[in-house]
Structure 1
Amino acid sequence: MNTIESLKWRYAVKKFDTNSTLAPSQIEILKEAFNLTATSYGLQPLKLVVINNKNIQEELVAASFNQPQVLEASHLLVICIPKKYTITEVEEYFDLVKKIRATPDAVINPFKTFLTADISKKTQEELLVWNRNQAYIALGNLLTVCAVEQIDACPMEGFVPAKYDEVLGLNKQNLTATLVLPVGFRAEDDYMKDLKKVRKNIEDVVIEFN
């Protein structure tokens, strides 16, 4: 399939094939894709929890408004953001820039000073909103990669973050669950599998200036 055909193939799976499991190589692709996602300033204020444990998945069903895909899926991906974001993360980012690119301080410091000041003046609520936006970018990237790799998925906002945080021990890591993505393979009897995709006409969603 080309990219557009893959995106047409994709849909939010309502029923996964419980007898099919993603290969380790496919999970590695999703992990790499997550790590390569574009984020604001390249700061990557995100973590990805990869769950391949049916006991944990079953426990999370109730915290997901009883959506069965959480248990049926081969793996459950949980995108998390920091509960509290500080300039320490900014400092660690620039340390990584120096390590990977060997960029001299004279080049780094002006941008580092700007970014540190910008983040320092934001409230934690503002930073939560900002980082949550980065999580949506990551989700969009993962959905596209899933489509290209012929991996089925079902993006979810409908869950109780506090319960996920409790079950997965995220509070101890200064993290909170933000988005959930069950991945696997569609079941043959998923009623959504063969339905036509409903989308507006291109001219109704795209504004062009030539």
Structure 2
Amino acid sequence: MSIIEKLKWRYATKKFDTTKKLSKNQINTLKQAFNLTALSYGLQTLKLVVVEDKLKREQLVQHSYGQRQVIDSSHLLVICIQKEINDEDVDYHFNIIKEIRQTPDEILDPFKKGLKSTIQSMTKIKKNDWATRQAYIALGNLMTVCAMEHIDSCPMEGFVAEQVDEVLELDKYGLTSVLLFPVGFRAKDDMFASLKKVRKPLSETTIEI
């Protein structure tokens, strides 16, 4: 299948096959893809929580408006953002750059100072909005990788973040949930799998200048 054919193959899976599980290699591929997501400034203020525990996921169904994908999928991926973003995150980021690329401080310091200034100028609300936008970039990346790997998925915004955070004890990690992303394999009787994609004509969604 071509890339376009694989993107046409994917859909927001409504019913997962509860007997099928993703392999450790497949989960690792998704974790690696998440980690390789292109993010603003390269600053990784996101975390991916991989939930396999059925008891935890059963609790999450009620906080996800009864959507069974949360528990019927192979794994539930939860894309989270940090509650706080500060100078320590910038220092850590540039320390990694220095370690991996062996870039001297005299080159890194001006960029580090500039990024700190940018973040310090943001209100808490703006930081949260900024981090949330990064989460959606990660989601798009994961959706594409799932399509390429023939892994079914369902991006979900419909859940009560505060309750999900409580069940998964995300507060102790300084995180809050932004998106749920059940992954697995479609059930044979999921009627949505055979429906044709509904999209505007390409001529109406793209502009060439």
Aligned partner letter, 1:208: E
- Work out the number of aligned pairs and report it: 209
Secondary structure of the 2:18 match is coil
Corresponding position of 1:45: 45
Give structure 1 regions of 4+ aligned residues with deviation exceeding 3 angstroms: none
Secondary structure of the 2:147 match is helix
Secondary structure of the 1:179 match is strand
Secondary structure of the 2:177 match is strand
2:196 equivalent to 1:196:
yes
Aligned partner letter, 1:7: L
Corresponding position of 1:82: 82
Deviation at 1:44, TM superposition (A): 1.0
2:44 equivalent to 1:7:
no
User: What is the Cα-based RMSD across aligned positions, in Å?
Assistant: 0.5
Corresponding position of 2:64: 64
Residues 86-115 of structure 1 deviation map (CA, whole Å, 9 limit, x = unaligned) = 111011000110011010011101111110
What is the rounded CA distance, in whole Å, between the counterparts of 1:44 and 1:114 in structure 2? 17
Structure 2 spans left out of the alignment, 5+ residues: none
Corresponding position of 1:25: 25
Deviation at 1:84, TM superposition (A): 1.5
Residues 20-74 of structure 1 deviation map (CA, whole Å, 9 limit, x = unaligned) = 1001110000000000000000001100000111111111000101101001000
What is the rounded CA distance, in whole Å, between the counterparts of 2:42 and 2:174 in structure 1? 20
Aligned partner letter, 1:62: Q
Residues 158-209 of structure 1 deviation map (CA, whole Å, 9 limit, x = unaligned) = 0011011111111111100000000000000001010101111100000111
Corresponding position of 2:35: 35
Corresponding position of 1:156: 156
Deviation larger for 11-20 or 79-88:
79-88
Structure 1 spans left out of the alignment, 5+ residues: none
Secondary structure of the 1:155 match is coil
Aligned partner letter, 1:38: A
For 1:159-198, what aligned pairs fall within 5 Å after superposition?
159-198=159-198
Aligned partner letter, 2:7: L
Secondary structure of the 2:119 match is helix
Corresponding position of 1:206: 206
What is the rounded CA distance, in whole Å, between the counterparts of 1:71 and 1:105 in structure 2? 48
Give identity over the alignment, percent: 55
- Normalising by the residue count of structure 2, what TM-score does the alignment of the two structures yield? 0.99
What is the rounded CA distance, in whole Å, between the counterparts of 1:23 and 1:171 in structure 2? 29
- Normalising by the residue count of structure 1, what TM-score does the alignment of the two structures yield? 0.99
Secondary structure of the 1:193 match is helix
Corresponding position of 2:106: 106
Deviation at 1:134, TM superposition (A): 0.2
